[in-house]
Amino acid sequence: MRIGELNIDRAYIQSLLVDVTRAHGGEILCRPWTVANTNSHTFAKADFHFDMRARTITCPAGQKQPFRLGMVVKFEATTCDRCEERARCIKGARGRGRRVSIHKDEPLQHRLRKLVATKKGRARLRLRIPVEHRLAHIVQRQGQRARYFGVRANLFDLRRAAALQNLETIQRKMAA
């Protein structure tokens, strides 16, 4: 069975189903991970230019480095020490170059960030809101963690919570 469009929560972005869907030309719709910048006075990862086809990353000052997915790119310390933008890029002692972590699914994250940046893309992601609300109601009812040991008991508990949620939804709609 082919999946044309997979709407998921970003917590499941590492799922095998995502890989299979992408391999068969399906589209993944979810919010991208936000890029954390531990020091707000330095350049963020978003300030670097990524060329996904050539697998290169270019810093705001123009230094280019190749990268592989799932690795940390280390810019040369000698070049960073001479750079005019060093104070805005690296905090700390000289002799250390800037580092940027590249995730295994960086191309997908870039595509998702481009999707969120457009009005049409945000509208497509808003279609997931009813599903997100239903999941939030189940989490509110059931809690964040599994109650029981074993998959079978927890699957039963999830189905129980979903059935109760559906019954409450039906009752609300009938009362209105």
Q: pLDDT for 12-65, tens place per residue?
A: 888 899 999 999 999 999 888 887 766 677 888 889 999 999 999 999 999 999
Give the model's pLDDT for residue 37.
67
If one counts every other C-beta atom within 10 angstroms of the C-beta of residue 130, the result is 9
Residue 9: closest CA among 141, 134, 161: 134
Give the model's pLDDT for residue 90.
87
Contact 56, 66 (CB under 8 A): yes
If one counts every other C-beta atom within 10 angstroms of the C-beta of residue 113, the result is 16
Which one-letter DSSP state was computed for residue 7? E
Taking only the tens place, the pLDDT of each residue in 115-153 is: 999 999 999 988 888 878 888 888 888 888 888 999 999
pTM: 0.70
Q: 45: Cβ–Cβ under 8 A, 6 or more apart, which residues?
A: 35, 37, 100, 101
If one counts every other C-beta atom within 10 angstroms of the C-beta of residue 106, the result is 18
